[in-house]
Structure 1
């Protein structure tokens, strides 16, 4: 099994956002989805990876957490 940072994709009520991606980033999302599908046995739409990847990125960003907390918010 491949060790990916993203292990599953939650199915929540979505908020529609339009994003323009570079062709290279789209190709990488397609490949990532293929690897995830191979490892999990379930096919996944590459577009559904964007939100969990952003969530994971934000959750691991220490600078963001520090700024967020100093603004009076709590995680």
Structure 2
């Protein structure tokens, strides 16, 4: 079965990340594990659920028109931080 065209997430890019812990219902964890297995089957590379979750959330937020409209009024802290220079590179007084 070719599931490539049925999954919303394509192959995953390598990104810099930060750790975030959250709790979810057992049924959601089972669905996430099943999605990870389908993703691995579709793209030939095993991927951990914790790697998939940020991409799923990003795709969800990109598809949320209300969120995108609100993003025009204010820039999210994550996006602003990505364009700011790292603290280590700032000149010291």
TM-score bin, normalised by smaller chain: 0.7 to 0.9
CA-to-aligned-CA distance 1:15-50 (integer Å, 9 cap, x gap): 111111111111001000111111111111111110
- Pick from 8, 33, 36: which aligns with 1:33? 36
**C-alpha deviation, 1:70, in angstroms:** 2.8
Bigger proportion of residues as helix: 2
Higher relative contact order (CA 8 A, sep 6+): 1
Partner Cα distance (2:9, 2:26) in 1 = 21
1:67 equivalent in structure 2: 70
Structure 2: how far apart are the matches of 1:66 and 1:45? Answer: 32
Q: How many residues align structurally?
A: 73
Q: TM-score, normalised by structure 2?
A: 0.71
Partner of 2:8: 5
Aligned Cα RMSD in Å? 1.5
